[in-house]
Every structure is written in C-alpha cells, then in structure tokens.
Amino acid sequence: MTMTTKRLFAALLAGAFATAATVSVAQTQTQTQTPAEPTHAEKKAAKKQADADKDANVAQAKADKKKTESQSKANEAAADANLKNAKKAD
C-alpha cells in the first residue's frame, strides 16, 4: 500500500467511527428525552401507592396527636407532684 492509500483508508475508518458514535449518541438522547407513556398497571400501582402514603400520613398524625396528649398529661402530673412537694416543704 502506498502512503496515499493508507491515508485514505485511515480517513474512511475515522469517518465510520465518527458516524457510529454520532448515531449512538443520537439514539441515547432520543431514548432519554421521550419517556414512555406509563402503562395501566403502572398507573394503578401509583394510585395504590398514593393511597397507602395517605393512610400512613393519617396514622402518623394520629400517633403524633396521642404522643402530644400523653406528654401533656405527664407534664400536668409532674406539675401536680411538684406542687404537693412544695406544700409538704412548708
């Protein structure tokens, strides 16, 4: 092979690799830019998850309320005990 033939062959290979890389990048971008429409099963699962999240939030709010009420009662009992101790000290 002569020098010009080698250069021509190298240029052809470089062009082929560049084209393949460009096509690969274009396909990747197309796939990431256009997400697929969610299926019926995915929509149904998302709805069930939303309902479960709502139920969990309600349960957590009830637990927080009960904890707050318990703490309030405990604080009141502690205040009563302090008052009795103060009266005994006199």
Question: How do residues 62-90 score in pLDDT, each as one tens digit?
Answer: 999 999 999 999 999 999 999 988 888 76
The C-alpha atoms of residue 39 and residue 47 are separated, in whole angstroms, by 12
Is 90 in a helix, a strand, or coil? coil
**N residues, the chain:** 90
Question: How do residues 1-46 score in pLDDT, each as one tens digit?
Answer: 677 787 877 887 777 767 766 766 555 555 555 567 889 999 999 9
Domain positions in the chain: 52-90
Find out whether 46 and 38 touch, Cβ atoms under 8 Å: yes
The structure tokens 């470089």 sit at: 14
The C-alpha atoms of residue 50 and residue 62 are separated, in whole angstroms, by 19
**CA neighbor of 16 nearest in space, from 8, 68, 60:** 8
